[in-house]
Amino acid sequence: MESRLIRSKPLLALSLLAASLFSHGVMADNEGLAVTPTEVTVGQLHSATGTMAISETGSIQAERLAIEQINASGGILGRQIKVIQEDGASDWPTFAEKAKKLLVNDKVAAVFGCWTSASRKAVLPIFEKENGLLYYPTFYEGLEQSKNVIYTGQEATQQILASLDWIAKTKGAKTFYLVGSDYIWPRTSMKIARKHIENVLHGTVVGEDYYPLGNTQFGSLINKVKLKKPDVVFAAVVGGSNVAFYKQLNAAGVNSSKQTLLTLSVTEDELLGIGGENMAGFYASMKYFQSLDNPNNKAFVEAFKAKYGKDAVIGDVTQAAYLGPWLWKAAVEKAGSFDVDKVVAASPGIELKNAPEGYVKIHENHHLWSKSRIGEVQPNGQFKVIYESDLIEPNPFPKGYQ
């Protein structure tokens, strides 16, 4: 009946629909956003090019899959989601420029984006000034909380501290060599790690080195690791540098039979480039691995591979990115509005009981309750989950680590 009315009297139908929406407060709430009676526009802001593309491509794919599934199920508040995609190009000023375009020019209702903390820090002032809403999917150092960001990855207590506790307990580790890429996330993460190693675990940091993003020469580091013989190499090398780092480690005979290594930043996405044989037996601390054995994850992996090919892999950040559109949908529907302030107010307490990683819930501090997991790298490029914690309450400002 309604579709017949629209075909025969389109202008009248649209005006009646607009009046109805306005009377329910929906269009009034969305003033200034790219929301029409049939469509809502969102932004995607990741590195599709540059050294971070190896890590961020999965996020782009997962967010698109979630949005397609939401649209196929009827959309949000009767509207289909339209996506405007921008490329941050692994360059932080570009991220800031593109964020401003999405919020000011395109007037998107939400943005799903960023990977590195450097890119997030670059766009944060813009989201706060323009009152935009960012869903950020990457595990990160914590020490941040914003009204304008929902953090769908882990913060430090859920990843860094939990994994150090695990390795100290299970391996009796006392000496650690810290290594990372040279920007805010690895440096802050290692600052937190050092405090935990020295003050809580009563261990020793025997070395600490950082390398520029995109660096491919790790010979001197490998020689130092061989000389120091730490119980654990604790690594936060990111992006394309991981390929060179782990291939060179393996070529130099630094493998799991001789050296324990725990990484915060290698997921299945990076392993695709590194090759599982070059990291076999090393460990990664994540909240999600593709190999998780539960019905929700099996359905997610099947849908992802159906869309992106049977050889596609899914890493921790990819899964966390997939959660973004679903959490936004739930908050919008709870608020009955796309208005950022109302969506933000509705977000705490939002639950996803069918997330691939399992149950997740948005905390009042805009982070997620999640589990800590340790995966052991397998030669086939997947991880064997060897440890899983209970749900950990997010605490982005842990006392004594700031």
Provide the pLDDT for residue 31: 64
Write out residues in the chain with pLDDT < 50, as ranges.
Answer: 1-28
Residues 188 and 107 in one domain: no
- % of the chain beyond a pLDDT of 70: 92
In a domain? residue 7: no
In a domain? residue 10: no
The answer to whether 328 and 352 are in contact (CB under 8 A) is no
Residues 258 and 346 in one domain: no
Residues 131 and 168 in one domain: no
The residue segments making up the domain with residue 343 are 33-153+291-365
Residues 42 and 147 in one domain: yes
The answer to whether 150 and 384 are in contact (CB under 8 A) is no
Residues 144 and 59 in one domain: yes
Question: How far is 293 from 108, CA to CA, in rounded Å?
Answer: 36
At a CB cut-off of 8 Å and minimum separation 6, what does 250 contact? 277, 278, 279
Please compute Rg for the chain using Cα positions. Answer: 22
In a domain? residue 356: yes
Sign of the CA dihedral running 380, 372, 141, 260: negative
Domain count for the chain: 2
CATH number at residue 237: 3.40.50.2300
Q: Specify whether the backbone of 25 is left (phi greater than 0), alpha (psi in -120 to 50) or beta.
A: left
Over residues 11-36, the pLDDT tens digits come to 333 333 333 343 333 444 566 999 99
Over residues 192-249, the pLDDT tens digits come to 999 999 999 999 999 999 999 999 999 999 999 999 999 999 999 998 899 999 999 9
Residue 143 burial (10 A CB sphere; 0-12, 13-18, 19+): middle
Question: How far is 15 from 5, CA to CA, in rounded Å?
Answer: 12
In a domain? residue 222: yes
For 391, list phi and psi in degrees, rounded to 5: -60, 135
Closest to 287 (Cα-Cα) out of 178, 160, 401: 160
Residues 52 and 195 in one domain: no
Residues 312 and 213 in one domain: no
In a domain? residue 1: no
In a domain? residue 397: no
Residues 133 and 166 in one domain: no
Residues 256 and 378 in one domain: yes
Pairing of strands 368-377, 283-286: antiparallel
Provide the pLDDT for residue 373: 98
Residues 145 and 174 in one domain: no
Residues 238 and 324 in one domain: no
Residues 335 and 355 in one domain: yes
In a domain? residue 195: yes
